[in-house]
Amino acid sequence: MPGDPSEPPAEPSPAGPLRGDEAGEPWSWSAAQIERAGVRVAGLLAEYLGGLPGGPVRRPFPAALRDAWAAEPAPRAGRPAGQVLGRFAAEIAPYPLGNGHPAFAAWVNSPPAVIGVFAEALAAAMNPSVAGGDHAAVHLERQVIRWLAGLAGLPEGSGGLLVSGASMATLTALAVARHRVLAAAGVDVRAAGLRSGGPRLVLYATIEAHGCVRKAAELLGIGSDNIMEVATGAGFAMSPASLAGELAAGRRRGDLPLAVVASAGTVNTGAVDPIGAAAAICAEHGAWLHVDAAYGGPAVLLLDELAGERAALGRADSIAIDPHKWLYVPVDAGALLLRDMAAARDAFSLVPPYLRTGEGDDGESGGGPWFSEFGFEQTRPFRALKIWMALQHIGLDGYAALIARDLRIAEYLRASVADAPDLELLAGELSIACFRYLPDSLRRAAGESAAGRPEGQGPAADERAADELNGRLAGAIQDGGRAFLAGTTVHGRQALRACIVNPGTTRADIDALLAEVRAHGQRLLAAGL
């Protein structure tokens, strides 16, 4: 089979005298074997990535294959690499999530930049632990962080680290904020933990904040009951007046503000909170400002129309950005940027202060302070290479052009929905559109019933029908395989949600997507839902 390195090694493998023609691959692959297998892998990559636009967005995973996998025992003997790659081609590659396809517009799952795919393989070949030390992976991560922090406008001396994604970035940032807030109140949370009877720690965020904020609050012992909801205004963005009022009320109660979480592009509606106003209010109340820029961050950092928010971003204490979202880097690749690296070191380091190297010192290792002193992970993967290679290959101007194109396609979608008599646009900023299918019969009845319904009365039957229809539409469209939308709720109404983070998506894909909405909507209505 092409790409099958089946030659036996010149010497027995350190793991035993296994040969490629007896019990799978030997441990020691020759350069020629690696190259031949690499050619096969490259062919699979080309076939998979090149064939995406012409195939279905998603194929349901076959029940028979699922059952076969469930019954398959772990292999006792190895098999040639060609056979393993063949199983990938036959059993795994045909059943992706669908996010590489130009008709995929569900969650914030971008297609991978091809050079990032190659970088992933190269990083795996080096396979370092990037906890620290003096090797290329460490210095490359420092460079990537410097680039991102500089783009965000953070001051000299700020830094950060690469993490799995915004969830870990948020958890890490809030752990640092918790340590700083409690240390100022005379509590060593690392030694004593959270003790009852002390001041109440409170997080402030809008209802649009990502679910990782609640997860972090629960994991850090803050508790979801201590997340104070800040009201939103037009476009679902945070209300500065509400934030100021909530912080002032908390101060009167004797609460300790742990942090305010603002969003530079919420994942549900794309709303961008007024970061500058939030920063000023946080400074007045001594509150940590964490900005979730996981999705919208690259747009804020690179596009002129968002220059105002970019200028404000540099006032944050911590920022989460996911290159694996709108920089099209393969998962996982998240970044946490921190204004005060010393605060993170105080929260996480297990190195005694008298042995710590300075931020600018090489120390004995020559690599400066270890990343493991600033976060939870000890063994850390080589995430920086795929970000670095993608930035080198595409460039900031190239990224700005790709993101701007995504925005134009999303605006075309929103305009198409707004102009359609059978669709209703509910929300949408950046590259997101939330809308629902509302044909004439449901639209007329729903509007009339809503107008005449007494305040506080539940939804009328036709509103329930509209919700039921749209609640089922996303799954029906996904199963159809021609397009992929997500379901969501906006103001309590069931809706469809599209997010465009694929430079390959065209207006024709949007037209086809809306045609799928109508076709499946009409089918569901004809079937009586």
DSSP 52-85: TTTS-S--PPPHHHHHHHHHPPPPSS---HHHHH
State whether 315 and 434 are in the same domain.
Answer: no
State whether 299 and 429 are in the same domain.
Answer: no
Q: Is residue 137 part of a domain?
A: no
pLDDT of residue 466: 93
Q: Please say which residue of 340, 355, 375 terminates a domain.
A: 340
pLDDT of residue 13: 36
Residues 6+ away with beta carbon under 8 Å from 408: none
Torsion angle of the four alpha carbons 451, 453, 459, 460, in this order, in degrees rounded to the nearest 10: -90
Q: Is residue 413 part of a domain?
A: yes
Number of domains composing the chain: 3
Q: Is residue 451 part of a domain?
A: yes
Burial classification of residue 459, based on how many CB atoms lie within 10 Å of its CB (0-12 exposed, 13-18 middle, 19 or more buried): middle
Q: Please say which residue of 96, 124, 146 terminates a domain.
A: 96
Contact criterion met (CB below 8 Å) for 279 and 316: yes
CA distances from 413 to 101, 102, 270, 298, 509 (A): 17, 14, 14, 21, 10
What CATH number did the domain enclosing 444 receive?
3.90.1150.170
pLDDT classification of 195: cutoffs 50, 70, 90: confident
- Which amino acid type is present at position 470? N
State whether 408 and 320 are in the same domain.
Answer: no
For the cut 70, the answer to whether the pLDDT of residue 453 exceeds it is: no
- Average confidence (pLDDT) over 123-130: 96
For the cut 90, the answer to whether the pLDDT of residue 39 exceeds it is: yes
In the 8-state DSSP scheme, what is residue 272?
B
Task: Give the Cβ contact number of residue 38 at 10 Å.
Answer: 13
pLDDT of residue 12: 36
Spell out where 101-208 has E strands.
Answer: 159-163, 201-206
State whether 181 and 318 are in the same domain.
Answer: yes
What CATH number did the domain enclosing 302 receive?
3.40.640.10
State whether 307 and 189 are in the same domain.
Answer: yes
Q: Is residue 279 part of a domain?
A: yes
pLDDT tens sequence across 330-370: 999 999 999 999 999 999 999 867 656 665 444 444 567 89
CA distances from 220 to 173, 188, 206, 211, 425 (A): 11, 14, 19, 14, 38
Which range of residues forms the domain containing residue 187?
A: 163-340
Cα within 13 Å of Cα(274), Cβ side: 18
For the cut 80, the answer to whether the pLDDT of residue 181 exceeds it is: yes
State whether 411 and 486 are in the same domain.
Answer: yes
Q: Please say which residue of 340, 355, 370 terminates a domain.
A: 340
Contact criterion met (CB below 8 Å) for 267 and 186: no
pLDDT of residue 399: 98
Tokens, residue 17? 């005298």
State whether 217 and 297 are in the same domain.
Answer: yes
For the cut 90, the answer to whether the pLDDT of residue 444 exceeds it is: no
State whether 91 and 176 are in the same domain.
Answer: no
